[in-house]
Amino acid sequence: MIPPAGHYQPFVRAGDTVHVSGQVPRLPDGGYEPADVATETALALRNLTAVVRAAGGDLTDVVKVTAYLTDAADFAEFDRAYAAHFGEWKPARTTVVVGLRSVKVEVDAVLHLPLTIDGGA
């Protein structure tokens, strides 16, 4: 899991819910190389998956994704890369076109991850 670039946690648990902060297409070394939206989506979702796993979950625990794109024309390419990553699992999703600083895509998520009897994940 790549450490956050700002003053925030990668995820926060609130009872049975885990909120994952926005993940962008940062490379394992923390750098960024502009690429097509499919490549950036795959990287951002790889980073999201790493945070989901660090929280104690897996992709099937993701119940909601919010995706932020810089260009509505990229939606179809984004959607194909997104579908390839999630496979048969289809969490609820909202896609918003926004002005991001340098990346083409950012994703955040909400997980349902019930606490165990002892209070852990």
* 121: in domain: no
Domain carrying residue 22: 11-112
SS3 42: helix
**Contacts with 76 (C-beta within 8 Å, 6 or more apart), sequence order:** none
pLDDT(120) > 90? no
Q: Provide the CATH number for the domain around residue 39.
A: 3.30.1330.40
Between CA 74 and CA 63 the distance in angstroms is 23
* 6: in domain: no
Domain count, the chain: 1
Q: What is the pLDDT of residues 53-98, one digit of tens each?
A: 999 999 999 999 999 999 999 999 999 999 999 999 999 999 999 9
**Contacts with 48 (C-beta within 8 Å, 6 or more apart), sequence order:** 20, 23, 107, 108, 109
